[in-house]
Structures are given as structure tokens and as C-alpha cells.
Amino acid sequence: MKAEHYVGGAFRSDGPSFALIDPRDGSERGVVPEATREIVDEAVTAARSALRGAWGAADAARRATALRRIADGIEARFDAFVDAEVADTGKPRELAATVDVPRAIGNFRAYADLLYGRPERAYTTSVPGWSGGAGEALNYTVRRPLGVVAIISPWNLPLLLLTWKVAPALAAGNAVVAKPSEETPSTATLLAHVIDAAGLPSGAFNLVHGHGADAAGAFLTGHPGVDAIAFTGESATGAAIMRNAADHVTPVSFELGGKNPAIVFADADLEAALDGTVRSSFTHSGQICLCTERVYVERPVFDDFVRELGKRAGGLAGYGPMISAEHRDKVLSYYRLAEEEGAAFVAGGGVPEFGDERDGGFYVEPTVITGLPESARTVKEEVFGPICHVAPFDTEDEALGLANDSPYGLASALWTRDLSRAHRVAPRVETGIVWVNCWNLRDLRTPFGGVKASGIGREGGEYSLDFFSEPVNVCIQI
């Protein structure tokens, strides 16, 4: 799929460009157009025009129909989306075919359904008036779109996380200007073609490609014509976007980084805990914001757990690469840092050798380490790669203290057979999501987001619709 901008209902690839690199073998597989400030401005202007025209006049039924057409269009081009997702990210095909693309379809259908039957509040009461008298009044709430919404999506789950924001933004009646990661432009471009074929009014959805700092991302998030910003990515970038948005007091929704803990109690089903920890630490080679990087295991089962986790990590096959040479080098720098800090390597720690074209790609080994103090940088800082540090604990309170001792607070996992303990501990873990005896089991209606440096606000179901719309109170004297 050739990467193109989509602005005001037209595809274009004018302006400067940069190379698109295949992370599986390091080869150049195309070029990506870089949106200039002028192109971003045209996209915002087109979005504003759509709000004043046909898209702004579309009622809930028309918007829901449009979302279902988009879902049907993705489904009709299912294999093309899978191919594009795998080519951009290098992730295993099974992951793209069973998670990323089905979730993208589900996002549009879910928000089409949510548009119907969504209640708003109404009150009839006697209220004091400004003159001191009292009168009967009917108060009710209606919702209107925020306006032009900027959506910035990351490279790790490019289609899933883009559609998770685009679907509710369109459902609420906003016009969208989206910028995917410069590393993963293909499924976003393919989505623009599907949206174009679905017949949305010109400017309702716009797509611009490019980099972030001092480029398309900054031009978009700092644009005075943008009414809200939804971003998923690393915490430092979120802070930069917030500074950019501050001049215009633009509302933001951020899902940011994580240094996610897992707590394994001695009474847990250890086979399930091991399987779950392998998934949570090494799925997509650790390049998911929800992945576990800190594992705390109750001391009676610590040695057995570490030994078996290392064995399973060392036996993994078919894993994907890091997204880029730069990110591979960052992850490897943490492997070396862990060594300098005194970590014991139970598995991994280097670069695999395949003896084929993959040796030109950006792979690192799944890695398990132990023995570091909680103050170590490797334990504190988000690596965003296939590595976890395992440490013992003796008491429930100690486990909670270790898990909560982090600037991040996105997700966590608890492993225990004791239901009372699960209910007691889960609310005390300082993360936005707590999984008990599972990992990444998601219902699209539930709130998703983090605390502390892991984000602002919540996404999912009506929580997303709440962000992408403005409640307006109407008061009518009876």
C-alpha cells in the first residue's frame, strides 16, 4: 500500500518524503510523504468545512450507517489490512489476523451500536430564580461534537489504536484529522481508502503523514483550528503535546507509557501464571503499552517460577522484530545497562542469529533478568521491549509497595486462587487496569487508561463518547 495523504476527500503525495523501512530485514520498501504545515492547515480547514456542511448535518442514524460501511469495508479487504500491518510492524501474521484487524472492525461496529439507546439525564423540579422567586423548570442534557479532532496514533498497534479513536470521534459527529506514526503509515492509508469508498462527506476524515517534533505532529497538535487532541504514545511525547496544546487550552485524552507489574502469589495456578506472564511480557516482542516488565513472585515459589519462565522465554520462536534500528538499539542499551547494574540473565540478553534475511532486521532476544534493586534504572524506566525483571516478596503489603513504587500506572496483573485476596489487593494497585488470573482480556465497553505518568482520561465505550462530545444543559421554564 502506497502511503498517501487524504485531505478534503482527495488523495495526494506531494511535498517531501522519507524512506519506509521493513523491520524484518532492514530493506527499504517504499517512501512516505511528509506533510508540510500548509498540508496540515488544509486538512484542518477541510475538517472545519465538513462540520459546517454535510457531516455536521448528519444525524445519529446517518453516522451509524457510515460507521457500519467502514467496518464492512475493512472486512472486505481483511487480507490487505493484515498484509499491510505485518509489513509495517513485522509482528506475527497470526497476531494481526486475530487481534488488530478484527478489533478495528469491531471498533466501528461497537460505536455504531452505542449511538442508539444512549440515555441522557432530565430533571423536572422547582428551582429558585435569580429574582428570588421559584418556578418549575425542565432541565435536560444534549450532546454536541467537540469539532475538529486531532488523532495521533502509535506504531505498535497502528490500526487498532487509530480506529479506537477514529470510530468514537466520528460517532460523536466530529471531523477528524489523523496522523499515524511515521513508522507505520500503510494501514492508515488503507483505512482512508475504505472511508472514501464508504461515502463520508469530504473533509469528515483527513489523514496526514509525517514525523512528530517540528513536523506534522507538532503542526497538528498546535493548530489553533483543532478543538481536541487524542494521543497514544510515550509519556515524554504526551508532555510535549500538552505543552503544544496549552496555548489554545485544547482538551486532551492521553494513553501513555507503562512499567507494568505482575504479582504472583504462592497459591496461584503456576502454570496459568507462567503462561500469562510469557504472554504479557513477550507478545509483540514487548512492544505493547500493557506488557509486563516487572514481575513480583512470592518467595516460596520464586526459584521455580524464575527457572521455568527463563526456560519458556528461551524457547520462544516466531517472534517479531523491534520497529526500527533506533528502537532495537534502545532496547539493547537497556540489556547492557541491566548487566552493568548487576542483573543475572536467566534468558536472552542479546541479538538472535537466524542465518537468513532476518539477520538484517531489528530483532532482540526475549529476556528474563533477576537480582536488581528497585532503584535500578532498568527496573524503573520503560524499556518497551521483550524484557522482564523478576523479584521476590514475602508479604502482601510488600508486594503492593513494590508494584506501586513507579511513576507509571497503566496496567497490572494479579495471580492468585484466593478470591478474597484478589478483591482486597486489586483496588489497592495504582493502575488504571487490574487483571486477575488473566492478561489483556478486554471488553470494549470498559474504561481504559492509566494514572500518574500513564495518561489522562479514559477510553472505551461511553467513556470515549464522553470525551469526544460536549454535554449541554438546556433549561426551560415551565
Beta pairing partners, 255: 232, 455
Helix (H, G, I), strand (E, B) or coil at 43: helix
Helix (H, G, I), strand (E, B) or coil at 55: helix
CA 240-160-457 angle, to 5 degrees, is 45
Q: Spell out the alpha helix ranges (H) of 77-144.
A: 78-89, 93-95, 101-114
**Please, are residues 386 and 332 in contact by the beta-carbon 8 Å criterion?**
no
Quick one: cell of 425?
489487593
289 included as an active-site residue: yes
Catalytic residue among 4, 34, 85, 255: 255
Strands in 5-7's sheet, in edge-to-edge order, are: 10-12, 5-7, 205-207, 175-179, 148-152, 228-232, 252-255, 455-456
Beta pairing partners, 20: 30
The beta strand positions in 172-258, using DSSP E, are 175-179, 205-207, 228-232, 252-255
Distance CA 238, CA 138 (A): 41
**Please, are residues 69 and 199 in contact by the beta-carbon 8 Å criterion?**
yes
Catalytic residue among 4, 289, 291, 365: 289
120 included as an active-site residue: no
Active site residues per annotation: 255, 289
